[in-house]
Amino acid sequence: MKKIFLFLVCLLIIKPIYAQRNDVNIEQLQRDIKEGIKCAYDASVRIIQYNTDVQKGVGGYFSGVVVDNKGHILTAAHAVKPNDIYLVTFPDGRQVKAKGLGVISSADAAMIVITDKGKWPIAKMGWSSTLESNVPCISISSPGSLGFNKPTVRLGYISDTQHESGFMKTTCLMEPGDSGGPLFDLRGRVVGIHSRIKLSLDDNFEVPIDVFRKYWTALQSPEYLNAFIPEDKVVPGKKAEVLRPVPEMRQLISNFKVQDQEFQKNVFTVKDSVNDSPIVCTLVDLNGLVPESKLKGKSFFISKNSMILAHPMVELVSGKFVDAKVLGRDEQSDLVLLEVPQEITGGVNLQSVKTDSVSVEELGNLLISPQPQNNGIVSVLGNQLLSIPKSPAAFLGIGVNFNIDTRQIVVTALYPEWTNTKGEIEKSSDDDIEISDVLTKINDQPIFTVKDLSDELSKYDYKQSVSLQYTKKTGSSHTKTHVLKRYYIVPHVPTDLFREGKSQRDNFKEVLVHDGKLNPSDCGGPLYSVNGTFYGINIARLCRTVTLAIPAKEIMQFVKDSKAF
Whichever domain contains 177, its CATH number is 2.40.10.120
Q: Which residue has the higher pLDDT, 354 or 251?
A: 251
Residue 429: its pLDDT value, please?
Answer: 76
Residue that finishes a domain, picked among 176, 208, 227: 227
| Arithmetic mean of pLDDT over the chain | 90
Domain annotation covers residue 114: yes
Let me know if residue 337 belongs to a domain: yes
Is residue 76 one of the residues assigned to a domain?
A: yes
Structural domain containing residue 422:
390-483
Q: How far apart are CA 136 and CA 208, in angstroms?
A: 15
318 shares its domain with 404: no
Q: Lowest mean pLDDT of 111-120, 184-193, 232-241, name the range.
A: 232-241
CA–CA distance, 544 with 549 (Å, rounded to integer): 15
In a domain, 527, yes or no: no
Number of domains in the chain: 3
- The pLDDT score that the predictor gives to residue 241 is 84
CATH number of the domain enclosing 437:
2.30.42.10
- Reported confidence tier of residue 6, pLDDT bands at 50, 70, 90: very low
Give yes or no for residue 1 having a pLDDT over 70: no
Separation CA 447–CA 276 (nearest Å): 41
- 368-379 pLDDT tens trace: 999 998 999 999
**What percentage of the chain reaches a pLDDT higher than 90?**
74
Is residue 87 within 8 Å of residue 448, measured between CB atoms? Answer: no
Same domain, 34 and 160: yes
Q: Is residue 523 part of a domain?
A: no
Return the pLDDT at 494. 67
> What pLDDT score does 392 carry?
93
pLDDT band of 505, cuts 50, 70, 90: confident
Q: What is the mean pLDDT of residues 311-330?
A: 93
Dihedral of CA 55/59/63/65: which sign?
Answer: negative
Q: Can you give the pLDDT at residue 319?
A: 80
Residues with Cβ < 8 Å from 185, sequence gap 6 or more? 36, 126, 131, 135, 136, 137, 138, 191, 243
At 354, the pLDDT band (50, 70, 90 cuts) reads confident
Residue ending a domain, choose from 483, 501, 520: 483
Torsion-angle region of residue 118: left (phi > 0), alpha (psi -120 to 50) or beta? left
Indicate whether 62 and 190 sit together in one domain: yes
Which pLDDT tens digit goes with each residue over 209-238? 999 999 999 999 999 999 899 999 988 877
My answer on whether 45 and 96 are in the same domain is yes
Residue 500 has pLDDT above 80, yes or no: no
Q: Does 333 lie in the same domain as 266? A: yes
Do 143 and 62 lie in one domain? The reply is yes
Q: Residue 139 and residue 382: Cα distance in Å, rounded?
A: 10
Condensed to tens digits (0 to 9), the pLDDT of residues 409-423 reads: 999 999 998 877 666
Residue 109 lies in a domain: yes
Same domain, 403 and 294: no
Report whether pLDDT(502) > 80.
Answer: yes
Residues 96 and 151 in one domain: yes
Please indicate, yes or no, whether residues 55 and 170 belong to a single structural domain of this protein.
yes
Cβ-Cβ contacts under 8 Å for 427 (sequence gap 6 or more): none
Q: Are residues 209 and 311 in the same domain?
A: no
Q: How far apart are CA 304 and CA 421, in angstroms?
A: 22
Q: Does the pLDDT value for residue 18 go beyond 70?
A: no
**What's the confidence (pLDDT) of residue 275?**
75
Q: Tell me, yes or no, whether 359 lies in a domain.
A: no
Q: How confident is the model at residue 12 (pLDDT cuts 50, 70, 90)?
A: very low
Q: How far is the C-alpha of 450 from the C-alpha of 452, rounded, in Å?
A: 5
Q: Hey, is 49 helix, strand or coil? A: strand
Same domain, 346 and 435: no
SS3 506: coil
pLDDT tens, 131-171? 999 999 999 999 999 988 899 999 999 999 988 778 999 99
CA distance 350 to 363: 23
Average pLDDT (326-332) is 94
